[in-house]
Amino acid sequence: MDLKYEDDKPGVGEGMRRKVMRQLHETYASSLAGKQFAFDGETGLYTAGPLPFTTNVFEVVLVDASSARIAAMSRSPGGDGSPGPSDSKRMKQETPSKIFKVEITFAAKVPMNISSQDALRVLDIILRQHSAKQNCLLVRQSFFRKDSRYVELGGGVRGCQGFYSSFRPTQSGLSLNVDLTTTMVVRPGPVIDFLLFNQDVKDTSRIDWRKAKRALNKLRIETIHTKMELQIIGLSENNCNELTFPLKQQDGTIVDVTVYDYFMNRWSTKMEKSANFPCLIAGKTNSPTYLPLEVCLLVPLQRYKKSLSTMQRSKLVEGSRQRPDQRMLSLTGELRANNYNSDPMLRECGISIAPEFTQVEGRVLQAPQLIFADGRELHTPNGRWNFNNDKFIKPIKVETWGVVNFSARCNVEDLVGCLVRSGANKGIEMAKCGAVIEERHQMRREPPTKRVEAMFQQIKAKLTRKPDFLFLLCVLPEKNCDIYGPWKRECLVEHGIFTQCLVPPANIKDQYLTNVLLKINAKLGGLNSLLKKETARAIPHVSRMPTIIFGMDVSHGSPGQNLPSVAAVVSSLKWPIMSKYRASVCTQSPKLEMIDALFKPIGDDDHGLIKDSIVDFLKNNDDQRPEQIIIFRDGVSESQFNQALNEELAQIMEACKFFGGKHFNGNWFPKFTLIVAQKNHHTRFFQRDGQRPDQVTNVPPGTVVDRGICHPRNYDFYMCAHAGIIGTTRPTHYHVLHDDIGFSADELEELVHSLSYVYQRSTTAISVVAPIFYAHLAVAQVAKFTRLDDMSETSSQAEAAPVPELPRLHRNVASTMFFC
């Protein structure tokens, strides 16, 4: 299908395209043999059965209701009730209709069966069209209404709750996957109110107009005097009471009037503030319209696509949470409101949606036992445990350490005393604190990098001789403090100092100290706990043969930023233990999801990430090579599964083949298993409350579902290893793409469940296997202390610029795990 203006000019937006196609269906219903069609908003048109022609061209007249209304109301310049750029254009009245040419040509038949991706895509297009007819905001398969539930995020931004729906194949047949979803939208209403919220000021005199111009660019407004919708393209340089345009009077003379006077006199608009503000410039660049701010309203459901601040993200997460009963009630209401069974296109396809949610069978796996110091065994009911009366299984000794305080309001001496005593209870021997260094008062308002540099000058003055090993406890004044990144970089890259940052609460309790000590012990080489299965060598396949376990993830920059992506590969260090990991991190091209540095042969050596992991595994296992390699990959969508196999797994196999040829005379043939873990999906599980059958709750930790809603052909399952304390539990969806090792379904599910209990920084089961959680942690921490914004300046200037490398860690910390 091809859609153009009458003069063959392209560039018709999706919203206008949908209006044109709706009008075409109304005007030419008989030419279409009364058939319904689904339009994808671009060039795809789908019908149930053939049309009575193979190609045809239709002329569609679309009446612009707002233009027609304005033409009737006013003969003002530009035809929109507002002054235009010149007298000639101003006196020109717009035609209240537009003519389009639509050419429809037969392309292909789509087989309508659930194994066809094309068929599923067509059905999803029908759902999008159904929501577009209801004037919803469309974000892929999520739909947002004007009356949606909102969460105020600050800065003139709202979190908007929407409805996700998409067809997918399951073992039970074709299923409709529905869920609640959230996007960010701009706060609608008066433009001036938005600017006050956006800049967090109370008085209009404090508005920064340069910031306002950036914030308003490309947003859509509706004028209160004509109800016309326009797009903002800028702000005028002159104020409203200074900006003039030529206006023809009744006697034929032309006089210059200000935009302010024109609106006050012609439209009797009451404006209290606009006189001394710039005008909005809206419409088209070649024929702009100038509007006082007070006659403009931001229209609803405009997406906010910039990155959120840490505080805004926190508010979004908090405001989007819903208890299981609330979520199910909302989903039921949304499904009823959408009324998909009334859609004529779905009916023509022979599809109806059952009103009840799918019932599936699940199993609850028994929680594994943990081992603490002295061989003490601990059960983990409800996926939670504590160290209140137990010692770490492998505690560390801290001989040289100190504390730095970046102006946090706390009694550091008391904090040190409590930490040392709590550490002793956990088996950690901490020597007397060598120094407590308080930040100089005059540095508190300096930039973060200067504050860190000044603090290190104080540290050097205190330490006349730098020890081989040094640990620094860093006390920060608030969460998400901007000192964190520069401090980590200075410690890990420049000086090789281990550090732990914390923001102590007003009332320091033992559980808080335990959480801090968990991190300190793990990052300094200790172990907090082990699975009983590990020590008893009772893990199927893994315990019988030397096995290395990988976790891989890639993190991308915020939308609109051309920052390098960060890839992390973590791997287990000691067999048969699978509770201790190391990490390698690198940068790669922006938005590249597949890791391209797993195998990098240069000459007769390999500089890839996999080689480093194998070398460390050999060092920690008396040169015993791994005969089994299990890879957990995060962040890969179903459309990228083949890439994960053909690119990433192929690289790993090549890296092992290269390493084996160089070190084992080619006599090394490990077996591989590749599993993709997905958290970014829309499947939720609810369980009927045994005591209140009319209520639903989260499923218990250890719940696994591997039938009913799983893929009809592929090997996949859902796992809820963690306890859902807040909101509704989201299971992790595991896909087994390759398995040489030969796990049975039960064995693999048991392994995944066990790996959710070995995260050393927590006393709860986590939602995804520990190797992937560690990979998340690695990319997140590196992104915080690496100046990727500076690194991207070069790459943004030229498309072919090389991706900048990450700074190398200091040799004192480079060989340790990434728990920094």
CB 699 within 8 Å of CB 729: yes
What does the pLDDT read at residue 362? 94
In the structure, what pLDDT confidence band is assigned to residue 813 with cuts at 50, 70 and 90?
low
When mean pLDDT is compared across 7-11, 147-151, 326-330, the lowest value belongs to 7-11
- pLDDT for residue 70 is more than 90: no
DSSP label of 776: H
The mean per-residue pLDDT over the stretch 389-394 comes to 92
pLDDT of residue 80 exceeding 60: no
Spatial contact of 442 and 413, defined as CB atoms under 8 Å apart = no
CA–CA distance, 589 with 594 (Å, rounded to integer): 10
State the angle between helix axes of 412-425 and 510-523 in degrees (0 to 180), rounded to the nearest 10: 70
DSSP 3-31: EEETTS-----HHHHHHHHHHHHHHTTTT
pTM: 0.90
- Is the per-residue pLDDT at 669 higher than 70? yes
pLDDT of residue 494: 86
- Region 770-790: mean pLDDT is 80
Q: What is the mean pLDDT of residues 314-327?
A: 92
* 137-142: average pLDDT: 94
Residue 804: predicted pLDDT:
66
- pLDDT, position 787: 57
Distance of CA 523 to the CA centre of its chain: 27
Q: Mean pLDDT check: name the lowest of 20-24, 111-115, 444-448, 572-576.
A: 111-115
Statement: residue 74 has pLDDT above 70: no
**Both tokens assigned to 150:** 């909102």
Please compute the mean of the pLDDT values over residues 252-268 and round it to a whole number: 89
Q: Looking at residues 761-790, what average pLDDT do you find?
A: 84
Any idea how long the chain is? 820
pLDDT digits (tens, 9 = 90+) for 430-453: 999 989 999 999 999 999 999 999
Sheet holding 436-438, edge to edge: 436-438, 401-405, 471-475, 498-502
pLDDT, position 816 = 52
What confidence category does residue 83 fall into, taking pLDDT thresholds of 50, 70 and 90? low
In the predicted model, what is the mean pLDDT of residues 621-626?
96
Beta strands in 117-210 (DSSP E): 137-139, 142-144, 150-154, 157-170, 173-186, 189-190
Percent of the chain with pLDDT strictly greater than 70: 91
pLDDT score of 84 more than 80? no
The 3 state secondary structure assigned to 248-309 is: ECCCCCEEEEEHHHHHHHHCCCCCCCHHHCEEEEEEECCEEEEECHHHEEECCCCECCCCCC
Q: Which of 751, 724, 721, 747 is nearest to 733 (CA)?
A: 721
| Residue closest to 308 by CA, chosen among 320, 296, 298 | 320
- 287-296 pLDDT, tens per residue? 899 999 999 9
Percent residues over pLDDT 90 in the chain = 72
- Name the band, by pLDDT with cuts 50, 70 and 90, for residue 112: confident
Cα 604 to Cα 511, 599, 601, 659, distances in angstroms: 52, 13, 7, 10
> What is the reported pLDDT for 192?
96
Residue 463 pLDDT exceeds 90: no
Query: Mean pLDDT score of the chain, rounded to an integer?
Result: 89
**Predicted confidence band of residue 795 (pLDDT cuts 50, 70, 90):** very low
Count, in order, helices (H) and strands (E) of the chain.
22, 40
- Residue 576: count of CB within 10 angstroms of its CB: 19
Lowest mean pLDDT among 255-264, 564-573, 803-812: 803-812
What pLDDT was estimated at residue 797?
43
The owner of tokens 């209801």 is 134
Q: What is the pLDDT of residues 336-351, one digit of tens each?
A: 999 999 999 999 988 9
Residue 286 has pLDDT above 50, yes or no: yes
Identify the band that residue 393 occupies on the pLDDT scale cut at 50, 70 and 90: very high
Angle at 203 between CA 199 and CA 204, to 5 degrees: 75
Asked if pLDDT for residue 768 goes beyond 90, the answer is yes
Q: Residue 389 contacts by C-beta under 8 Å, 6 or more apart in sequence?
A: none
Place of tokens 């050419």: 103
DSSP state of 407: S
pLDDT over threshold 60, residue 801: no
Tell me the mean pLDDT in the region 420-430. Answer: 95
> Tell me, what's the pLDDT at 67?
53
Q: Where are the beta strands (DSSP E) in 526-574?
A: 530-531, 547-555, 565-572
Place of tokens 């006199």: 265
Task: Check residue 814 and give its pLDDT.
Answer: 58
**Burial (CB count within 10 angstroms: exposed 0-12, middle 13-18, buried 19+), residue 141:** buried
Residue whose entry in the numeric block shows the structure tokens 């809206």: 282
Please name which of 407, 405, 436 lies closest in space to residue 420, comparing C-alpha atoms. Answer: 436
Burial label for 770, CB within 10 Å (0-12, 13-18, 19+), is buried
Residue 339: predicted pLDDT: 93
Question: Given pLDDT bands bounded at 50, 70 and 90, which one contains residue 94?
Answer: very low
pLDDT at 791: 47
- The count of C-alpha atoms lying within 13 angstroms of the C-alpha of 284, restricted to the half-sphere facing its C-beta, is 5
Q: For residue 144, which phi and psi values (nearest 5 degrees)?
A: -125, 130
DSSP 734-775: EEEEEESS---HHHHHHHHHHHTT--TT-SB--SS-HHHHHH
Q: What's residue 210's pLDDT?
A: 95
pLDDT at 343: 94
H/E stretch holding 582: strand 581-588
Under the banding of pLDDT at 50, 70 and 90, the label for residue 560 is low
Angle (CA) 656-660-661 rounded to 5° is 120
Angstrom distances, CA of residue 371 to CA of 62, 378, 533, 758: 73, 6, 9, 11
pLDDT of residue 73: 43
What's residue 812's pLDDT? 65
What pLDDT was estimated at residue 370? Answer: 95
Exposed, middle or buried, 111 (CB in 10 Å: 0-12/13-18/19+)? Answer: exposed
pLDDT higher than threshold 70 for residue 665 = yes
